[in-house]
Amino acid sequence: MNYTTQMDAARKGMMTKEMKQAAASDALSPQELMAEIAAGRAVIPANKNHKNLIPKAIGKGLTTKINVNLGISEDCSNFDNEIDKVKTAVTMKADAIMDLSCYGKTQEFRQLIVETSGAMLGTVPIYDAIGYFDKNLTDITAAEFLRIVEVHARDGVDFMTIHAGINRETARRFKKSGRLTNIVSRGGSLLFAWMEQTGNENPFYEHYDKILDIFEKYDVTISLGDACRPGCINDATDAAQIEELIVLGELTKRAWDRNVQVMIEGPGHMALNEITANMLLMKKLCHGAPLYVLGPITTDIAPGYDHITSAIGGALAAASGADFLCYVTPAEHLCLPDMDDMKEGIIAARIAAHSGDIAKGIRGATDIDYKMSTARKNLDWEGMFELALDPVKPRRYRKSSQPEHEDSCTMCGKLCAVRTMNSVLSGKKVELKEDDCHAN
């Protein structure tokens, strides 16, 4: 029996090698994973042309995955720097790489990522269209927009952001909304401008069935982009965002009718008290499809620290049902992130993802926390470092400030609570010199 996509195989009761591999590294059995894929509640982005892919599953009952954005631009077009980022991101356990390149030899760069990385690869084809065709935006035809999608699919891209939800009716709603920051999605703003200036319907919406033809052929997962995501907390959960979300729910069912796997992209900037309701609403309106969220960023006043605002929102989003977090770096809103920015963003996103997994009761999520607590109880410093999300930084701190006694640290010394309790409970006498107590 043949199959076209992972969803098609799951619906036919066929266990693919990708399902087996993804399940082996996650919380569900292969049979449980297959059932979730068949229902559309989980996906395995796995383009048939991405030969060295290490498959990962995203969705219900699975650990929350994280994505790293990178790519070349007109101002920062160094291939080597970005490929180094790819390799480092994979080493730091990022689950996916999203190539947002928009300038220069984008296809060559994209193909290089596919060849060198086993991580899932995502792209936003509309970013590439202007450079690929060397045309002004309004001179690009609907057929050319579709052609660039097929180029990316043929190159081995596993999932693509397609902004099909911002049709002319959604755009009309947006123009009446009085938004503070308008449309902050790069792809969404380009399509809005194209529609306004040509008078035509969004080609990704008008020719959606042709997009599905491509995605079914190569088994690309469609990530339905949120063109109307809020760009500030003032704009969150407004009519434009909800109007687009309703359209995305309709497009989800159309994709499933073709056995094309679907993810739904989510908000942007949003106050903490709105996040849980938004995750529930997105799941409801989009029929339980996996949610892929940027942040949400919980306050607008922290440029330089938006990896923190994003991690706060991401943890709550994951706890409330989000399945895939797009990392945010300290450089968000400011510049292209460098290597150090990327590392900070990855760790922040992994903290948020794991915190969410604990809260929503993902099978086995707290196992590593139990091991860390045991290592702390035993004052096993090397064990703590090995279990840490980032072993490098805690080792550096420990080395930079050596205590007098190896079983303590320079903050507490002999007053270490763990050291004291271990001694007392093992029947040893606790002896503290007077000068050890002066600080208190």
Q: Cβ distance 241 to 253 under 8 Å?
A: no
Residue 228 marked in a binding site: yes
Residue 286 marked in a binding site: no
Q: Which two structure tokens, joined as six digits, stand for 320? A: 């409330």
Q: Which two structure tokens, joined as six digits, stand for 21? A: 């591999």
Residue 269 marked in a binding site: yes
Residue 227 marked in a binding site: yes
Whether residue 394 is preceded by a cis peptide bond, meaning omega within 30 degrees of 0, is no
* C-alpha dist (Å) from residue 377 to 141, 394, 397, 399: 64, 17, 19, 20
Q: Which two structure tokens, joined as six digits, stand for 418? A: 């763990």
The residue among 16, 43, 41 whose CA lies nearest residue 30 is 16
* C-alpha dist (Å) from residue 290 to 64, 90, 306: 10, 22, 24
Residue 326 marked in a binding site: no
Q: Which two structure tokens, joined as six digits, stand for 276? A: 């849980």
CB atoms within 10 A of CB 123: 29
Q: Are strands 42-43 and 58-59 parallel, antiparallel or unpaired?
A: antiparallel
Q: Cβ distance 223 to 98 under 8 Å?
A: no
Residue 258 marked in a binding site: no
Residue 437 marked in a binding site: no
Phi, psi of 302 (to 5 degrees): -120, 45
Residue 404 marked in a binding site: no
Q: Cβ distance 238 to 177 under 8 Å?
A: yes
Residue 77 marked in a binding site: no
Residue 409 marked in a binding site: yes
The residue among 348, 336, 220, 219 whose CA lies nearest residue 294 is 348
Residue 229 marked in a binding site: yes
- Angle of CA points 113, 68, 78, to nearest 5°: 50
Residue 186 marked in a binding site: yes
Instruction: Please list, in sequence order, all residues whose beta carbon lies within 8 angstroms of the beta carbon of residue 291, skipping any fewer than 6 positions away.
Output: 263, 264, 266, 279, 282, 283, 317, 321, 322, 323, 324
Q: Cβ distance 306 to 333 under 8 Å?
A: yes
Phi, psi of 99 (to 5 degrees): -90, 110
Residue 187 marked in a binding site: yes
* C-alpha dist (Å) from residue 396 to 88, 390, 399: 19, 11, 5
Q: Tell me the CB-side half-sphere exposure of residue 114, using CA atoms within 13 A.
A: 22
Residue 163 marked in a binding site: yes
Which positions make up the binding site for substrate?
69, 98, 127, 163, 185-187, 226-229, 265, 292
> Residues within the annotated binding site for Zn(2+)?
269, 333
Annotated binding site for [4Fe-4S] cluster: 409, 412, 416
Please give the annotated binding residues, written as ranges: 69, 98, 127, 163, 185-187, 226-229, 265, 269, 292, 333, 409, 412, 416
